[in-house]
Structure 1
Amino acid sequence: MSQTEQKQVFRVHGFTCAGCATKFENNLKTVPGVTDAKVNFGAAKVTVYGSATHSALEKAGEFENLTLTPDQGPIQKPSLPFWKKRSNWFLLTSILLLLTGFYTSITLSENSQLSILFFLTSMLLSGGKLFLKGIKNLVRLEFDMNTLMTLAVLGAAAIGEWGEGATVVILFAISEALETFSMDKARDSIRSLMNITPKEALIRRGQAEMQIAVDEIEIGDILLVKPGQKIAMDGIVRLGHSSINQAAITGESIPVTKEIGDEVFAGTLNEEGYLEIEVTKHVSDNTISKIIYLVEEAQAEKAPTQAFVDRFAKYYTPAILILGILIAIVPPLFFNGTWEDWIYRGLAVLVVGCPCALVISTPIAIVTAIGNAAKNGVLIKGGIHLEQLGLLNAIAFDKTGTLTKGLPAVTDFISFEETEAKHHLSIAASIEKNAQHPLAAAVVRKAQTEQVAFYPLQQFQSLTGKGVHATIEGVVYYLGSPSLFMEKWPQHLNQVVKEQILSLQQNGKTVVLLGTDQKLLSMIGIADEIREESKAVLKALPKLGISSTVMLTGDNQATAQAIAQQIGISQVEANLLPKDKLDRIKAMRDAGKHVAMIGDGVNDAPALASANIGMAMGGAGTDTALETADITLMGDDLKKLPYAIRLSRKTLRIIKENITFSLALKILALLLIIPGWLTLWMAVFADMGATLIVTLNSLRLLRVKS
């Protein structure tokens, strides 16, 4: 497709069923000037490529009275409540007219003119649109569920079954209303995310403070947020510190401390402190808008099961029509059957054969699951990835930033003069404050946590590759690796000290020594801290059918093995470059494994792309992770992984239940036609019941919690 080709995105208003969305897409592709069109039924959106007028595009949706409005980002207006829709009031009135018609047919006569009038009015009121669409389809020789229902109702009227014809129309209308209600509910669960962001905010621009709409806020404005208020825009804290509840973005309700220089997100709640925040993104580009946009786009990507169902339904509907015609005409023509009896049975076939439940069985489950995942801090980029997630039996983890926090920390501080431990920490931190490596930062953070004093340095010099030395209060101190002390003062390292150093190193820790030329003062063990949840997650995965877990890391074997033993990972591959990680993933796939790779979304990009599922950690505010990974754990929280797998497995199970149930019910109903036990109203009730059960079964996915 040409990069210069015009692309237009619209919101679609008026969808009642998945079949209508497919027909609308096909109609759009025939509009002059349109080269391609993709309808997203889950998000009620359409993307049109080419050049065509707005009126020409809407004309393609005339069959359903669809209207199009330009897409201005995630929709904020929720759908109308069920009881406020005019079509539903028409439906209620039709039900009253139907009951009145039955009453008059009992009290007067079965087909009295008054009862026929009530039945006919009931049909037209609840099925007027159905008949118009069905007749248009007949003229064009297009066969869908509207065609089947129209033929069935006209046939029922022709043989004098007015009551049953009206019942068929009303039950079909109820079925469509339930389908619309269920899809609106699934869509609203995503749209509700937009309600968490304030529509106005107090900002400072220059010297002036003003309350303005978020659409008018510009990058560089200073957002003024008081305790208890929601943050309206993405930005960087420039003044103050506070605890922020980021549940809307990450699904994690435990507040996170934010200080000067930290990033904050729109829709999160400032719990206790006053903040001044420099705005870094426009409202249409903020993290919550991007999440909702990606979720809506994900709903358009059909899962393999859904694609199969769509192909099946394409041939299924004409087959049912042919079967109904054959049942109506073959027995009377060749086996002395009565025309009225077999026409009635043929009409029942048309009604029970409507593929409503089958067509909606997969998309409603996919849309509901993706929406639920987003609200719980897991961004799944499409139905295909949701299905793949449920098939996993192996997971490969990057170490740094995934199984560990990615931030070195002091795990052991051993002073050889116990009463001087805090003094030694002060000396070490004072020296390291002037160094520029991650291990130095870990020592400084330890000192800040312990609230010890920092001494001024009289002299500081780096010993390249080995450590540093500095003068404090006239004493020269050395801080560096064991090899520095072994080279200069081997007498400081007796057997006990050597054993302590070896023990720390075998546990995956880097050892730093503090001393003078006279004696050894302290030993510091530094390691990348393991995430608290890593061990629990690794323990939970085998229960979810994950038979193989492997750590892929660039670290040395000893460090990697030590961490693997602590968290319970089954296999370790160390000293790997990005290409090596890619090769390991390919090898696992070649061995028949269905594998996911979990990394940071940047350095592990080749391995993420090669795996069946690429998962990124900590996508909140990280554009690269949001764009590149199939699935993103928004809160940088590994505990979301078992939840995502459970949700996917339940989604697959519910889709199978839906398809099996809808097909089984139709087969059973078709078998009842042979002895003549299936009436028209029973046929449509079976179809409506299947749609209702499939819908309610799919909405169970909203109850899956993180």
Structure 2
Amino acid sequence: MNEYKVKGLTCANCARELQEEIQKLPSGKSASLNYHSGKLKIDNSVEIGKVKKILSTDGAFLVTENDEHKQVHPQGINLITILCLSFFLYCFAFVVDNWINEFLAVGLFLTATALSGYKTFIKGLKNLGKGKFNIETLMTIALIGALSIGEWKEGALVAILFGLNEYLEGLGMQKARNSMEKLLNIAPKKATIITDGIEKVVEVTSLKESDLVIVKAGEKIPSDGLVIDGKSSVNEAAITGESMPVEKGLGEEVFGGSINNEGLLKINITKAYEDSSLAKILHLVEEAQETKTPTELFINKFAKYYTPIIMLISIIVMIVPPIFLNGSFSEWFYQGLAVLIVGCPCALVLASPIAIVSGITKNARNGILIKGGVFLEQLGRITTVAFDKTGTLTKGEPYVETFIEYESHSLLLSASIEKSSSHPIAKALIKKAGEEKLILVEPEEVTTHSGSGVTAKIGDKQYSIGNEKQVSHVPIDDRVKKDLLDIKDKGMTVVLLADKDKILGIFGISDEIREESKEVISHLHKVGIKKTLMLTGDHESTAQKVARHVGVTSFFAGLLPDQKVEKIKGISETDKVAMVGDGINDAPALASADLGIAMGKGTDSAIETADIVLMQNHLGKLPSAIKSAKKVNAIIKMNIILALGLKLIALLLTIPGLLTLWIAILSDMGATILVTLISLTVLYDK
């Protein structure tokens, strides 16, 4: 498939009609022309000359490397100039009609009509010849009809208002597109690479794995990598949506697109740019605006039948009253022409795309990657959110929540024995010792016992650390038993330290709960989520402790991965459920839910697994994402009601014979303006 950028598309409905024409070409069946992104995808074998010819019928054109300089904006400026001149002539014609000469006034009205409506008129005549009835055809028939019965003033006003309507319609979508393009332009373009000690500026796309680059203060990091020299704070807003700087030093990971705030960083590239987190994010955001939601597909299908139905109503209005109700033929012919204008489906087709693109763009700025409009719509319909515990509601990092020393220096001894271990519990003990500012000693004869713990010699004494099995060689008195039971009841993992005679200390290890979890659950309930669930493989007491702390409505413990899937499927039968996990070990549950939401700071697995990715690697912005999705859905419904409602009012005016050409065009224009402005509020809503 070849992909082209298209400029000059006038409206969503026109883009749909152009797509249908291109699909009729040999090998063109798979062609797609997306009004949201202004992109055309066609099979390699489609004759490009014929495609250009079809696009030119609507004033659109392909943008290639050779004519990138072409812009839509000058056309827009010219259109405004023409419309202003037409309106001036229209006003001047009124003065001439009343004070100077009626025939001169007619000439001025016709000039104003021709200036603002000639493009529509030419397109309409071509379409009429092909038997194709779209908005240009309807407007052309209406203009010819109005002029034929001497309605010079109304004909001119309709032409001017229609031109203004088209301009405003294109402007609204262009605003949403510009916002998206601004987001996509955050990608770095150049990189300073070091080869054999020589610095050289190259294109980012040429970077390979293991290349060495330097990033000066204020520059963008070109691709994902590891810091091998230097220290600086880095703005990762491009990846996470959060502008608070993150300190980076030796051996720490950095992401392409983030900005080095100060100092000099030397970075070893770990991914070629096209494989970097930023490139994947931008690609997915770009693809997201090209997917059509169920609502859009329905509207497009409805629009196909809407215009022919209105045309039939128009013919009935023209014929029935004069023949059967003794009405004036000229009066009802005029009413029928006005009904024709109501047949324009542009405002209706525009009801969804601007709101969808605005919603995707806004969330992407906040570090929430929504992979398509369909998922944005789905997010707004979610009633239940299920969370994995480890790494989602908790940090997935064990820490020492409590410890009891029966002999002094138990923490020092425990951390010293574990100092060379990479086990998560060992790291928790070492971290706790660091917080207590303890200076560790060097153990001897360290032996690891799989599944139970470690033994080591410090000084002239032998020590054991681990679970109850590891210290089974020593007696446990009533005091220790009571403390053990108390720690277990609180849902903590027990670690014991013993010498050859007795227990020296007990440590209660927990998975640290994320600071934001409780507040996020509370906010989710406030934005309309009815149920929050926690699914975990941990035992009941641990799950109960976390669930009680964060405030979920219910929890399920001791679940294996396949049991999580069954639980999600069961909930999905009655509720619209989103599953939130870390995107690594929760893939089956994420896939089974109505919506999969993964956490992961640019990790490949998180980006590829879920429908939505929280790039901040925490839950903080999940409630705002759901709130904005609900707003988008509400706006789309409101837009559809407005677009159809204003047209219905216009049609009802035909019953008492009050519908005029300018009221008909204003009903469509009013709907377009309202739909556009309301949709853009998503983009600027704080």
- On whether the aligned pair clears a TM of 0.5, the verdict is yes
In 2, Cα distance between equivalents of 1:273 and 1:506: 50
- Cα deviation, residue 58, structure 1: 1.8
Shift of 1:240: 2.9
Contact 1:467–1:481 (Cα < 8 Å) also in 2: yes
Is 1:247 the equivalent of 2:247? no
Cα separation, 2, equivalents of 1:126 and 1:325: 27
- Pair 1:307-2:259 in alignment: no
Deviation at 1:78, TM superposition (A): 12
Q: Which residue in 2 is equivalent to 1:9?
A: 3
Using a 3 Å threshold, how does the CA distance of structure 1 residues 206 and 554 change in structure 2: closer, same or farther?
farther
| Contact 1:27/1:60 (8 A) holds in 2 | yes
- Aligned-residue offset at 1:338: 2.3
Kindly provide the CA deviation profile for residues 86-111 of structure 1, in whole angstroms up to 9, marking residues without a partner as x.
Answer: 3333333332232233332233244x
* Cα displacement (A) at 1:588: 1.1
CA distances 1:320-362 after superposition (whole Å, capped 9, x unpaired): 1121122123323333322321121111111233222111011
The Cα shift of 1:413 comes to 3.5
Matched, 1:615 2:597: yes
Residue of structure 1 in register with 2:615 after alignment: 634
8 Å Cα contact 1:243-1:255 kept in structure 2: yes
- Write out aligned runs for 1:652-663 (5 A): 652-663=633-644
Select which of 55, 59, 65 maps to 1:61: 55
1:43 & 1:284 partners in 2: Cα distance?
21
Please state if 1:33 is matched with 2:35. Answer: no
Q: Which residue of 2 aligns with 1:489?
A: 474
Residue 552 of structure 2, aligned match among 569, 588, 602: 569
Check the 8 A contact 2:76/2:167 in 1, yes or no: no
Q: Does the aligned pair in 2 maintain the 1:36–1:50 contact within 8 Å?
A: no
Moved more, 120-129 or 667-676: 120-129
In structure 1, which of residues 430, 445, 449 is the aligned counterpart of residue 416 of structure 2? Answer: 430
- Pairing partner for 1:559 from 539, 542, 545: 542
Partner of 1:328: 318
| Greater mean deviation of Cα atoms: 389-398 or 469-478 | 469-478
Contact 1:248–1:375 (CA under 8 A) maintained in structure 2: yes
The structural deviation recorded for 1:525 is 2.0
Larger deviation: 326-335 or 397-406?
Answer: 326-335
- The equivalent residue for 2:160 is 170
Q: Distance in 2 between matches of 1:275 and 1:448?
A: 28
Q: Aligned in 2, Cα 1:523/1:622: closer, same or farther, shift over 3 Å?
A: same
Q: Which moved more, 1:451-460 or 1:301-310?
A: 451-460
Shift of 1:252: 1.9
Check conservation: 1:9, 1:70, Cα contact below 8 A.
no
1:89 maps to: 81
Conserved 8 A contact 2:474-2:503: no
The one-letter code of the counterpart of 1:102 is: F
Closer, same or farther: CA 430–227 of 1 in aligned 2, 3 Å: farther
After superposition, what is the alpha-carbon deviation per residue over 1:355-379, rounded to whole angstroms, capped at 9, x for unaligned? Answer: 2211101122111111111111111
Counterparts in 2 of 1:260-299, with a 5 A limit? 260-299=250-289
C-alpha distance after superposition, 1:109-133 (max 9, x if no partner): 44x2x33333333233322221122
Cα separation, 2, equivalents of 1:700 and 1:382: 20
Change (3 A) 1:207 1:167: same
CA contact (8 A) 1:79 1:188 kept: no
* 2:431 corresponding residue in structure 1: 445
Change (3 A) 1:426 1:273: farther
Alpha-carbon separation, structure 2, partners of 1:458 and 1:59? 82
Pairwise CA distance, 1:273? 4.3
Secondary structure of 2:508's match? strand
Which region of structure 1 is more displaced relative to structure 2, 289-298 or 26-35?
289-298
Shift of 1:392: 1.5
Displacement after TM superposition at 1:519 (Å): 4.6
Which segment drifts farther, 627-636 or 254-263? 254-263
Aligned with 1:666 (options 627, 636, 647): 647
**Change in 2 beyond 3 A, CA 1:470/1:643:** same
Residue correspondence of structure 1 range 353-432 to structure 2 within 5 A? 353-417=343-407, 420=408, 423-432=409-418
Report the alpha carbon displacement of residue 181 of structure 1 after superposing the two structures with TM.
1.0
Partner of 1:222: 212
1:583 is the counterpart of 2:572: no
CA distance 1:563–1:634, shift in 2 (3 Å): same
Amino acid at match of 1:593: D
State how far apart, in whole Å, the 1-side matches of 2:342 and 2:372 are: 32
Which of 433, 445, 461 is the equivalent residue of 1:475?
A: 461
Q: In the alignment, which residue of structure 1 is the partner of 2:496?
A: 513
CA–CA separation in structure 2 for the residues paired with 1:327 and 1:109: 35
Tell me if the contact between 1:507 and 1:563 (Cα under 8 Å) persists in the aligned partners: no
Q: CA separation in 1, counterparts of 2:526 and 2:97?
A: 62
Asked whether the equivalents of residues 564 and 572 of structure 1 are also in contact (C-alpha less than 8 Å), the reply is yes
What is the distance in 2 between the residues matched to 1:399 and 1:97? 70
CA distance in 2, matches of 1:506, 1:240: 47
SS, match of residue 233 in structure 1:
coil
Is the partner of 1:253 in helix, strand or coil? coil
Counterpart of 1:99?
91
* Structure 2 Cα separation of the partners of residues 606 and 233 of structure 1: 30
**Which of these residues, 193, 199, 216, is aligned with residue 183 of structure 2?**
193
Shift of 1:657: 1.0
Q: Aligned AA for 1:18?
A: A
- Post-superposition shift, 1:613? 0.9
Is 1:595 aligned to residue 585 of structure 2?
A: no
Q: Measured at CA, do residues 291 and 118 of structure 1 come closer, stay the same or move farther in structure 2, by a change above 3 Å?
A: farther
Asked whether the 8 Å contact 1:190–1:292 carries over to 2, the reply is no
Deviates more, 1:558-567 or 1:211-220: 211-220
Identity of matched residues, %: 46
The answer to whether the Cα contact below 8 Å between 2:8 and 2:72 also exists between their aligned partners in 1 is no
Taking a change above 3 Å as real, the CA distance of residues 351 and 269 of structure 1, as seen in their structure-2 partners, is: same
1:678 partner letter: L
Q: Which stretch shows the higher mean deviation, 671-680 or 155-164?
A: 671-680
Structure 1 match to 2:606: 625
Change beyond 3 A, Cα 1:166–1:279:
farther
Q: Return the offset for 1:704.
A: 3.4
| Worse-matched range after superposition: 601-610 or 358-367 | 601-610
Residues 635, 95 of structure 1: CA spacing in aligned structure 2 closer, same or farther, 3 A cutoff?
Answer: same
Alignment partner, residue 100 of structure 2: 108
What letter is aligned with 2:52? E
Match status 1:459 vs 2:445: yes
8 A contact 1:10–1:71 mirrored in 2: no
Q: Give me the whole-angstrom Cα distance separating, in 1, the residues matched to 2:92 and 2:191.
A: 56
Tell me which moved more, 694-703 or 204-213. 204-213
Structure 1 counterpart of 2:359, which letter? A
3-state SS in 1 of match to 2:289: helix
Q: Given the alignment of the two structures, is residue 234 of structure 1 paired with residue 224 of structure 2, yes or no?
A: yes
1:297 and 1:81 mapped to 2: Cα distance? Answer: 24
- Structure 1 distance, partners of 2:106, 2:205, is 57
Cα separation, partners in 2 of 1:200 and 1:106, compared to 1, 3 Å: farther
Q: Name the SS of the counterpart of 1:411 in structure 2.
A: strand
Query: How many angstroms apart in 2 are the aligned matches of 1:448 and 1:226?
Result: 34
Q: Give yes or no for the alignment of 1:675 onto 2:656.
A: yes
What are structure 1's unaligned runs of at least 5 residues?
A: 1-6
**1:23: Cα distance to partner?**
0.8
Aligned counterparts of 1:271 and 1:605: Cα–Cα separation in 2 = 36
